[in-house]
Amino acid sequence: MYSSALWLHSLLRWAVLITGLVAWVRAIGGKTGNRPWTPKDELWGLLLTISADLQLLVGLVLYIFLSPITRLGVRNFAAAMQSDAARFFTVEHPAAMIITIALIHVARVKIRKAGDPQRKHRIAVVMFGIAMILIVIAIPWPFMPPPFVSRPLLHR
């Protein structure tokens, strides 16, 4: 169960990154090309939100029930703060990702409320852009040198 959830969480990262990148690039194109806000722009924002929410759900299941790292980290918080991996998965990774997912939701509400298409694209460029940067920083990439935490590109 733990391994399956970790595999799904690892795979879903690619869904978040791809939908986020498409939504962001479309917003840049819309802003620079002075293009109207289309149903496709809406769709990619929605797909980003859905994949981020699914990732939040699997992340919470891992955090609360399955991961031995976070279970130990929560029980012995002071000791976890001394270990790079335990601190990363108990505090840094979830905090950064929850903030990011909240940012994506706020962006979608602001886009919906904005009347002017150019304003919609501008909000998407800035807020999806910041969200994508935060996500890329908070992922444990395999090429990260110590003391950063590294994990494979796809969990087996």
**Least Å distance between CB 8 and ligand HEM?**
10
Distance CA 125, CA 26 (A): 9
Shortest distance (Å) from residue 54 CB to ligand HEM: 9
Does the bond joining 147 to the residue before it have cis omega, within 30 degrees of 0? yes
Which of 31, 108 has the CB closer to ligand HEM? 108
Q: 105 — alpha (psi -120 to 50), left (phi > 0) or beta?
A: alpha
Considering only 59, 120, 121, 127, the residue that binds ligand HEM (CB under 6 A) is 59
* Residue 49 interacting with ligand HEM (CB under 6 A): no
Handedness of CA 141, 58, 75, 102 (dihedral sign): positive
Tokens of 74: 């929560």
Residue 63 binding ligand HEM, by CB under 6 A = yes
Answer yes or no whether residue 139 interacts with ligand HEM by CB under 6 A.
Answer: yes
* Rounded Cα gap, residues 56 and 145, in angstroms: 26
Binding site for ligand HEM (CB under 6 A): 6, 9-10, 13, 16, 52, 55-56, 59-60, 62-63, 67, 69-70, 89, 93-94, 97-98, 135, 139-140, 151-152, 155
